[in-house]
Amino acid sequence: EYTRLSSTQNKEYVDGSQMPQNLKHAFVAIEDKDFYEHNGVSLKRTAFAILNEAKRIVTGSYIGGDSGLKQGASTINQQLIKNLTRDDENSNMAGYMRKIREIYRAYKMDVTYDKDTILEAYLNTISFTSNTAGVQAEAKKLFNKTVDQLTLEECASLAAITRNPSRYNPVKNPEVH
């Protein structure tokens, strides 16, 4: 499926066996620390996100105030589903229905594929800076090297970009790294 994604993105597929373990560990640590323990969905993070959203509806702010915790509940599985389906509806009931579909698909994915396959697909579809998708294309663009040549620091830098691509872009904001 992920080979058919939008051709307008700068992307290049790389096999998971060519990805350094440090890169995989960095993404799991930043994006979904319980990736290897859950079944595609983090019930704890989902429950927190529901309570936090309910608090925002009732009080007008998230837990922790206006600039408080707006933690996403999405696991790597759920993010991969969103990348593959391009289903990103966020408004009202349609947004809640998208999340329900995403949770169902994430569970199904976890039953169908092993964690290494899911992580490989995720790392090949994740969006980065300037319309780039996947770790190989981003490694070449930012560091002028293939993903298998990345240092520990470069692996961590790529993983950090996903949290806020404009802020953590090492070319535009080297002081942040």
pLDDT, tens digit (0-9, with 9 covering 90-100), for 28-66 = 999 999 999 999 998 888 888 778 878 878 888 777 665
Q: Which residue has tokens 């319309």?
A: 131
pLDDT digits (tens, 9 = 90+) for 67-118: 555 556 689 999 999 888 877 766 677 877 888 898 999 999 999 999 999 9
Highest mean pLDDT among 13-17, 43-47, 160-164: 13-17
Mean pLDDT of 130-155: 93
Q: Taking the model in full, what pTM does it have? A: 0.83
Three-class SS state of 36? coil
User: What pLDDT does residue 154 have?
Assistant: 94
d(CA 114, CA 111): 8
User: What pLDDT does residue 140 have?
Assistant: 94
Lowest mean pLDDT among 43-52, 115-124, 130-139: 43-52
Residue 54: CB atoms within 10 A of its CB come to: 10
User: What pLDDT does residue 35 have?
Assistant: 95
Mean pLDDT of 5-29: 87
d(CA 131, CA 10): 6
User: What pLDDT does residue 163 have?
Assistant: 77
Lowest mean pLDDT among 40-44, 153-157, 163-167: 163-167
Report how far Cα 159 is from the mean position of its chain's Cα atoms.
9
d(CA 106, CA 164): 24
d(CA 150, CA 22): 9
Helices (DSSP H) in 35-114: which residue ranges? 43-59, 76-85, 92-112
User: What pLDDT does residue 149 have?
Assistant: 98
User: What pLDDT does residue 143 have?
Assistant: 93
53 to 58, 95, 138: CA distances (angstroms): 9, 12, 33
The C-alpha R_g of the chain, in whole angstroms, comes to 17
Class of residue 62 by CB neighbours under 10 A (exposed 0-12, middle 13-18, buried 19+): middle
Mean pLDDT of 110-129: 94
